[in-house]
Structures are given as structure tokens and as C-alpha cells.
A and B are shown apart, each in its own frame.
Chain A
Amino acid sequence: MASIEAGTAQGAAGAGGIDAEELARQRQRRFEKVGRWALPLIIMLTAIWLWDRICVWNEIPHFILPRPGVVLATLIDDAPLLFSSLWVTLKITFLSLALAVIGGVGLAVLFTQSKWVEMSFFPFAVVLQVTPIVAIFPLINIYVENQTAKLLLCAWIVAFFPILSNTTLGLNSVDRNLLDLFKLNGATRWQTLWHLRLPAAMPYFLGGLKIAGGLALIGAVVAEFVAGAAGQQSGLASRIIEAGYRLNAPRLFAALILISFTGIVIFLALTWLSNRILRRWHESALTGEH
């Protein structure tokens, strides 16, 4: 409908003005810009308000479903306890992520250096990736004594595969012509890896890293559920279980919010990192232009 009007308006507007279609498009763009953050915010606030009202209207006791205000108060009151647990969970998450990067990239590089190694081991990687890996946590729980090592291993194992498979894909997806060019110029294996394969794999690696960041956190939480840590060294997952036993729903919710917030922060941080690194050569891909 607008296109017909715009067609005539375009003719009428002539050299100076902007036609109706362009005006409409500009308005649309402005709305979208505001709506992008305003709408989710409004929905979020409405949901919290509704949550609060439901508790009040139905007179739900706060050990079943605490009101948002109570959760917030608990978050503040229990801050020393919860944040020290958050710290434990974060340590496991980031340490396992770091090890996943080292292991994943290292193994991917090894794969691309030898076709035989890749052919032999890649199916293993795939099998391990498609197996719901949390199912082997109880085994790790039996085999590994040290609590931290146990948690690290579990979190590492889930974070490791996306990095390995993405990086391998990236290292192998190098432009054939560029490989020929390196060959023509007598590049060594190491030069080809350093100047060509690794930079070319960067977008793939960063995609894997984003997935792995979230998985490392999930791994750290689930591992703790299985391992059932207690006392000083316990992370947020143990706090959740403990709060569940004691019907301390406000603390359970507070811990949950902290974990979810952590997940968001990790995702945003990795997205920022990846945009920063890829900006120079991948801006079009990132913003969806062209």
C-alpha cells in the first residue's frame, strides 16, 4: 500500500525533499532503535510486577515463592555468603574455559598439521560431542579425588568441544588460493599456520568461544550438583541445593539470579571481545549489511 503512494510522492518531491517512503523508513528505524532495548525492559518489569502480584493475590508463602522484594533483600543480606560462592563458581568457569581454549586450539592445530591424526581422532571428538557429556559426571566423581580437579574436569569437558570443532573447521576453511600463494612463496608449515591458518580460523574460534563460555558455566554448576560440595569451598550450585533442602526459597532464587546474571555477563563479554577482534575485517558480517 505504501509503495504506491511512495511512487507518486517520489515523483512529486523532486530534487529537494525526501519522499514519503524514505520518511516512513526513517521513522521505522527510529522506533526500532528505541524498541530494541525499551520493549524487553518493559516486558521484564511487567513480569516482575506480575510475579509480585501473583504472590500477593494468592497469598503464597515465601518459602514456596518469595516476592521479588524479598529475593532482593536476601541477595543483599546474604551477599557475603553468596558472593564468595559466586567467586568459587567463577574460578571454575574461567579456569576451565582457559584450559578449554588451550586444549581445543592446541588439538585443532595438531589435527590440521597431520591429516592422519585428524582422520584418526576427529570421530572420537564427534562421538564425545554428541554424547550428553554431563552423563559421565558421576564417573568422574568416582575416579577423581580432588574436588577442584573434579569440577574443573567436568566443566572443561563440556567447554572443550565447541572450541575444538570450530577451530578445526576454521583452520581447514582457508582459501585454497591463499594456500597456493603461500606455497608459491615457499612458506614453511609454521609460517602458513601463523600467518594464514590461525588468522583465518579466528571468526570460527570466536564463535566456538562464545558457545564454550556459556557451557563452561553450565558445566561448573552441573558438576557441583553431581559432586555435592559443601562448606567453605562450595559454589553457587551447592548453595542452591542447600537452600532447597532448607526450603530457603529466597536464597535459592537469589543464587539463581546470580548465576543467570553471570551467564549474561560472560556472553556479553565474549560478544564484545569477538566484535572487537573481528571489527576490522568482518564488520559487514557482524552488522548484516551488504
Chain B
Amino acid sequence: MPFSTYLDSMRDDCKELVAQLSKSFEYVSILGTDVHAEAYRADRKMSSAQDGEGECGFVIKMHNGDSFYEYSCDDIKGDKKALAEKIVNSTKTDPELYERRVKTAPVSDTPMKKDFVRETDFDKYSDEYLLSLCKNVSKKLLEKDEKVLNAMVVIQPYTVSKLFITKNRELSQHYGWANGGKMVIYNDGKMAQARDFDGAGSLAEIIAKLDKNLDKLIDLAKHLTKAQPIKPGVYDVITDSSITGLIAHEAFGHGVEMDQFVKDRAMAKHCVGQYVASPITNMHDGAAATVSVASYFFDDDGVLAHDTQIIKDGILVAGLSDLASATQLGTEPTGNGRRDNYRRKAYSRMTNTFFSKGTDKLEDMIASVKHGYMLFETNNGMEDPKNWQIQCTAEYGIEIVDGKLTENYVSPVVMSGSVPELLKSISMISDEFEVHGSGYCGKGYKEWVRVSDGGPNLKARCKLG
């Protein structure tokens, strides 16, 4: 599937509108989005094949050395002079707020013209094939064990086309990502759900994984029906890569989003250059840091993708910024300006966030634990960048006794406490590495964007409840 023909046809319209608005503003950018998604799903009783989340529209950003102004709309065809007048009028404020505008440096508009493409294989697979696959895998899961009440299987490819135009810049990007997975609801006296979801740059990879590990998934569900609540306490823990990613995300992902620096909402602003984690710890974020769900070529401010090292050998070295926050802080934006969709504001957001791998063997890490838990699978988390508290919920944990994993499962497991205490307690890091590209991240309780996170296994000490 090529770059959006619609957006391609709108290049001149964008340039014309930029020219009109440039009569009123020093900096004008237009981001056009055309995102298509499909969702195939099957379970015991139902199936569906339809459009998934999508969007098609424009957001115009303007700046004159004070506040930023934005206007979101579905189309910009027609009389550009009239549209420009409408936009200028719409973004005016009550006169009493006029004097309260921020004062900032001008926005730089470095010339660049480039078209970025990462090909997908989505066109190779028909609706019929993908839906049949979901139905077949669901059927197989249901037939494996009568205690499987339901088995849901999904495949969700999506393709992104974005066009970014300023007076000096003309960028386009086209790429795709696919998610897929399965979930069973199991009843063995007690009900439990077990999931196995993943993401990949091609449908071939998702398809290859979809009907693998079916027995393992049912076995997990069986164990979860026997899971007990954990006795609250402080334990040695080993994390799987998804929990490692959740810690990275909640602890120092949100904590270094630099729009929070501007608002004095992040303690990290005062800790750059200081030890915030164990000296064996390294952490990155960036659309260019790895290939996963958040690997775009330029962000929603037209800034090229970066690979930002956030923590280097335990020391906090850098944060993540969008255009507005970098302009106010007097720094270079890091390519982390992201929008939920064209209707929403761009904020500083994470992309692909992960701890770097270490040198330890996972089996040695488990063997080093006298009594503790290995934690698996992200459920949810919540950030607190100002006060450096953290809450991460794992789907389940397995008790470790005398250096060995037992058959004792606990669920759910809520890990909480102080971010620096947790990160400074990291004593071993495995030589394995996996990034999970099937997540979403909100800012507070809104502004959802697709993110990945992950890394190696970590050994740390923290409070579980």
C-alpha cells in the first residue's frame, strides 16, 4: 500500500494555506494524517472484519514568539484566504488573557524535503484469509480443553501516512505495524483470563506466532485459576521483559517528558547529571531507537526521530521533548511530539522505551533469589513524575524459593514504591532483550498513543501487594 494518494494530492493546498497564514504568523506548520486500520476478530460465538481506529484530517500550528495556536479540521480544500481568516479568528483569546501569553524564542524551520517509507506486507493477505485464521485459532483453543469458556483471537494491521508542510519543510512518511494475539477465559472452579499479544512490522510475523504456544496459553490459564493473592511485603523480584518495560515507562519515561519540566511537574528536571538508578542501568527512548510500534520517521511536529539515551550508567542524562516544550526550555526537540490524533494537542510523549541489556544469565538471576517472585505480563501502570512514586501491575507472579521457580502463582501483583529506591535496587540485568510493541500510553487519563517498551530481565527489590 503506497503513501496516501489523498495527502499526496493536498501538498499544494497545504503550501497555499501556509502562505496565507504566514501573513499573520512567523511560523506555520500543517500536519495531514491519513491512518487506516483493520480489525479481524473471532471468538466462540462471534467474529468481525472491519475498520479499526483511523483518522484523516489536518492540524495547523502557528507561532509568533508567544503562545502556540492550533486549529484542527477535517479538510482544507477550497478558498484558502477565507480559511486562513477563519483560523486566525478562531484562535483568538478573550482580551483579558492576551497579556498572559507565554513569551518564547522563535521556532526554527530548517529546510528539508524528504519522503520516508517503510514497506509492509499487508496487501498480501485478504480479509477472508485473516478472518479465517482468527476463527481457526479460536476453534483450536476451544477444542483443547472443555474448561476454556471462550477464546478470542485478533489481528490488527494499521498503516500510517503523514504529511508535514511548513514554509521550508516538506516531509512525508508511510509505514505500518501489526498487532495480534489471543486470550482465553478459563473456568476451573475459579475463572481466569490468560493473554498472549504481540506486535510486528509484518503480518507474516504475526501470523507465524498466532497459532503457536496454544498449550502454553491454556496451561497459564489453568495456573491462574489456582493463583492466590500475594502476601503484601517487600521482596526480591525478577521481571520479565514486559514488566521491565513497564518500569522503564512509568519510572523514567513519563518522568523525563519535558513538557512536565516546563510546568515544574517533574522532579527529574533537577536531577540531570545525578545518579537515579543502579550504575549498571542504561535506558533509551526513541522512534529511531529500535523498530517497533512507535518507530516513525518524524514526529507530529515535523522533527526527525531520535534515539535518546535517558539513563547512562545509572546517571540521568537527557529528557524527551516536543516542539513547544523545547522552545520554552531553549533546547533542541528530541522528536517526541506526539498526538492522540489530529484533533488533539501534541505533547512530549514516549515512543519505544527500554532498558539496555546486561551480562547476567536469567537462570543465575533466579538462582540468586532466596525468596521472592518472578513477575510477568503488564496489566497497567501509573506515573507520578513529580513525587517519584510508581505503581505497576503485573498479571501474575511465580514464587521463587531457594533459587527455583515454584508452581505457586500469585495474581494480581501490584508493585509500588519510590522510583529511585526501586531503580537503585537493580542488582542484576540479563543478557536477553525483547521490546513489546502492543501497548498504549495515556498522559494522565487521556491522550492515548501507541508505544512499545521492554528490555532485559531485571533483579530488583520492591514492595508487592
* A and B held together in a complex: no
